[in-house]
Structure 1
Amino acid sequence: MSSNYSAISTTQSIFESIVGNTDNSLPSDARSLADKVHFSTGFADNSESDLLVLPCPFKECEVISALKGVEGSVANAIGKLRYGFEQTVDIEMYHASLFLLMAYVASVNGHNKLDKGVKKYLKDTDLLAAQSDLYRRMSANLYRTKDSRYYHIHGSLEASTTLKMIGLPSHSDLSDYDEIVDYIGTAVSKFTAAELEELNRQYRQAGTTALTQEQFLATPHGKEIASLPPWEVTTLETTSPKVPFSEPAGISGKPQILEGFKVVEMCRIIAGPTIGRILAEYGAKVIKVTSPNLSDVPFFQVDGNTGKHTTDIDIKTADGRQQFEALIADADIILDGYRTNALKKLGYGPDDFAKRGRDRGKGYIYVSENCFGFKGEWSYRPGWQQIADCVSGLAWAQGRALGREEPIIPPFPMSDYGTGCIGAIAALDAVYKRATVGGSYWANTSLVQYDLLLMAQGQYPNEIWQTIKDKNKDMQAIRYYDSVDAISSTALKALLNGKILDRLSSYLTKFDSPGFNGEVKVLSPVVKMDKTRNGFNETSRPNGYDKPVWW
């Protein structure tokens, strides 16, 4: 490590800049309690030599540690309001780094995400084989265009429409990775980036041209989204009164910050479910509602559904709406991770819940996350983590840092998890506001906003980045056309071979999970507080496991 660079000092500086930024909506109590947050590496001697290992040139470890500190500060403010005491908040940066790859450190009966043997324990929610069929899976990937630019097509969890868009069949007998990359890459190379943008618009797909950060910030959307803080909390109505906290059950000996809160989670994949997972850590009852007709990634549910109940409801049917109405009638927080305005079209958008809050005399907190943000001309566009990383400029910076003049997707869904943490901060922010002021609130953030926050901290000094690359030598062979699975598995193997994850077991929580037919291990909560408990009250389970009722 460089004698001139301190990861802890950098983290403290990022933390202070976020807490001190008056453009965000943090409660004043959270700002005043910032000195209660303490950062350490997580190693006995507080050494930083094994801390910075994630193969990304930007300060992922430091940024997520700082965000976890902000999360802890807002939780501390709620705890002070609710229980009358202040607490110390401890953030171990090694633990926070693991948060950025939570799905990759989770396991079922000893099988992790990369083990083929894990499939027999999972519920098959890949309804259209957009994940399990390699050809269809590669409909979500980065390819070179006719005009020598790079375009990330994305078949989402459906695949067929994107493949049709570029003139390919929805299914193929191809099974070899390199042959599939060449086959789909050849099809994409027949179009310019501008032509793909137009096709993407016509077919309503989640694709994007890979831009540099400078190119993105020069667009009207880039300019507008860059002017915003990482999250926003907007007041929807002011007529509903302050909401008092319920009496804590105190079963564990220590109360939890969000005991008694009820959360309805309408999300899939990673970022949205991560918000719900964090709220569950603080004691909220979270029920994840998914449609039986929509796909989800099976393994991501192992970690993402921890601490929750899960249920299937088709809210487009009369019976489904009746079941959903019964859940939301008693809810405090609604999480929305779908396309912008998708739930609004069904009568379940932020304004709809503002009216419901007024009518019932108890405000709602509506939390949204998406790819491009909720302001600007691209706010309507669908997207995923890879799309955000390509459009924001993060992928181009990653590729150049690896010595190539091409964009490369960073490993692990780090932007997803970072966005989930910001979403949880926004939710806690709104909880404090509802308790002290009353009203209903819309809290929102996006993957692009996380990326911009990350890149605003700058890249590592050259000697630090060289040390990180030396620990991840196999990453040097990665190319733009490699899949996110190939990139993340390469990075994970480097961490395992370098014994970086040897201390992992001490950061895991172990459950017996009837839903997954065995023992599940997932990452424990990162934020540690000395007077309240952060921990899960429910084991993990697959989607659609429980009845659509509160418990």
Structure 2
Amino acid sequence: MIGLPAFRPDLTDYHDCINTIEGAVQRFSALELEKLNQDYGQAGASVLTNEKYQKTAHGQAMASLPLFTVRPLEMDTPPAPFAKSVDEPSQCLQGLRVIELCRVIAGPTIGKCLAAHGASVLKITSSQVPDVPFFQLDVNTGKHTTSLHLKNADDVNTFESLLKTADVIIDGYRPGVIANLGYRPEDLVSKATQRGKGLVYVIEDCFGGTEMGAEWASRPGWQQIADCITGVAWEQGRFMGLNEPVVPPFPMSDYGTGCVGTIAALSGIYRRATQGGSWICRTSLSQYNLFLLSLGTYPTEVQDQLRREHDRHFFALRHNDSVDEVSQRALCSIKYLYPKLFAKHSMQSMYSEAFSGVVTWPKEPLKVDGIKIGHVRPTRPNGYDKPTWEDWEGDETLLDI
């Protein structure tokens, strides 16, 4: 799109890579890049301050949205109470079936959190759609994963059979992608009404504002793009003493949006259980970022203290440094200052047959009297399991560790 070859095996130096890409980008104006993004379907965006974002048509539309929304799609189906067991139930979402149609982090985090409350979460991806294997180590914890391509007739039939008993759908794709495959929320709710049991449809995307027809709602994107358009990247740069944006370290908006999406999903599940009906729940990376910005920045003295304590190497970062480089430097500093965050008693380990090794992840921080919260199966890569709700393995002794 910007005139570079797809592969440059001769480029092995980090700064040479940056200079090559940045030099190519600088040949275009911001407007020209926006036009190229649109023509090529690329997920790029200009970096805005929050003040400039608020003046855009999209920013003005988003200003009226709360952090998440939950509304009914139909109220004809009866309440679907939580499952009751002869024995004392150990997890509150036991018996609920969740289909996760998501990639990378934010949407899969919703599924991971619901699995920690006992839901059977089946992550469905296509082998023809790329994903990031590194993140699957974390976000696939507690789930089963399978591969279906919804443009293949046999896979569509399998998917339809799974839908018949699903309670929750998580949609983390760009707005319209799942709908264009024939699965609009309204279509799925119609099926749910015919079976006499409502459905909870949870949507997470980058820009937000789909239900309002906001200007950028249908654009593709991920965390760093949301951080850049809403002003979060500029706040990070200012904190570092720069008059330029820097993408924040770690996928914080991704995981934050995943937590918000979980709250929205639980709200929809609770309302289905107590009021009946089918519910649609929405949030976005941009909504999370706007909420974050609304909280304000730390007082000057706190910011000064953080700048003194953290590794000076971190503050040498610039706008053109990669996400990996930003996160790597931040992680080194955090490990040095806060070793307790990485202590063994805060972690849980289990052998993953799928990854042929022991995987360690943080224990769930939430505690609720009378129920257990945690995962009963180890992580696995995408597409590992058969597309079925039957014969799932699980180790409930993990809940007592």
Q: Give the alignment's TM-score, normalised by structure 1.
A: 0.69
Written as runs of structure 1 = structure 2, the 5 A alignment for 1:469-480 is 469-472=307-310, 473-480=312-319
Among 338, 343, 350, the residue aligned to 1:511: 350
Deviation at 1:249, TM superposition (A): 6.4
Among 356, 363, 383, the residue aligned to 1:544: 383
The answer as to 2:192 corresponding to 1:357 is: yes
Counterpart in the other structure of 1:490: 329
Among 239, 245, 249, the residue aligned to 2:76: 239
Counterpart in the other structure of 1:412: 250
Counterpart in the other structure of 2:167: 332
Determine if contact 1:408/1:480 at 8 Å carries over to the other structure: yes
Written as runs of structure 1 = structure 2, the 5 A alignment for 1:36-47 is none
Distance 1:177 1:399 in 2: 21
Determine if contact 1:248/1:260 at 8 Å carries over to the other structure: no
Distance 1:538 1:509 in 2: 12
Among 272, 288, 306, the residue aligned to 2:107: 272
- Aligned AA (1:402): M
Written as runs of structure 1 = structure 2, the 5 A alignment for 1:126-275 is 165-173=1-9, 174-248=11-85, 250=87, 255-275=90-110
Distance 1:288 1:332 in 2: 14
Deviation at 1:419, TM superposition (A): 0.2
Deviation at 1:333, TM superposition (A): 0.2
Distance 1:501 1:293 in 2: 41
The answer as to 2:361 corresponding to 1:522 is: yes
Q: Residues 217 and 366 (structure 1 numbering): CA distance in 2 closer, same or farther, change over 3 Å?
A: same
Determine if contact 1:226/1:449 at 8 Å carries over to the other structure: no
**Where has structure 1 moved over 4 Å in runs of 4 or more?**
none
- Aligned AA (2:48): L
Gaps of 5+ in 1: 1-164
- Aligned AA (1:437): Q
Distance 1:284 1:504 in 2: 28
The answer as to 2:182 corresponding to 1:343 is: no
**CA displacement, residues 233-283 of structure 1 (integer Å, 9 cap, x when unaligned):** 121111111112222364xx6521111100000111000000000000100
SS at match of 1:382: coil
Distance 2:356 2:317 in 1: 36
**CA displacement, residues 122-147 of structure 1 (integer Å, 9 cap, x when unaligned):** xxxxxxxxxxxxxxxxxxxxxxxxxx
Determine if contact 1:291/1:314 at 8 Å carries over to the other structure: yes
Distance 1:360 1:236 in 2: 15
SS at match of 1:209: coil
Distance 2:305 2:125 in 1: 43
Distance 2:76 2:341 in 1: 53
Comparing 393-402 with 254-263, greater Cα deviation is found at 254-263
Distance 1:201 1:181 in 2: 24
The answer as to 2:235 corresponding to 1:400 is: no
Deviation at 1:470, TM superposition (A): 2.1
Q: Residues 421 and 249 (structure 1 numbering): CA distance in 2 closer, same or farther, change over 3 Å?
A: farther
Gaps of 5+ in 2: 391-401
Distance 1:171 1:249 in 2: 60
Distance 1:354 1:304 in 2: 27
SS at match of 1:441: strand
Distance 2:86 2:59 in 1: 47
SS at match of 1:289: strand
Counterpart in the other structure of 2:120: 285
SS at match of 2:202: strand
- Aligned AA (2:184): G
**CA displacement, residues 427-468 of structure 1 (integer Å, 9 cap, x when unaligned):** 000011111111111101000000010010000011111222
Distance 1:349 1:500 in 2: 46
Counterpart in the other structure of 1:384: 222
Determine if contact 2:95/2:119 at 8 Å carries over to the other structure: yes
Distance 1:349 1:177 in 2: 44
- Aligned AA (1:329): K
Number of corresponding residues: 385
Determine if contact 1:249/1:255 at 8 Å carries over to the other structure: no
Deviation at 1:512, TM superposition (A): 1.3
Deviation at 1:318, TM superposition (A): 0.6
Q: Give the alignment's TM-score, normalised by structure 2.
A: 0.94
Among 316, 333, 354, the residue aligned to 2:151: 316
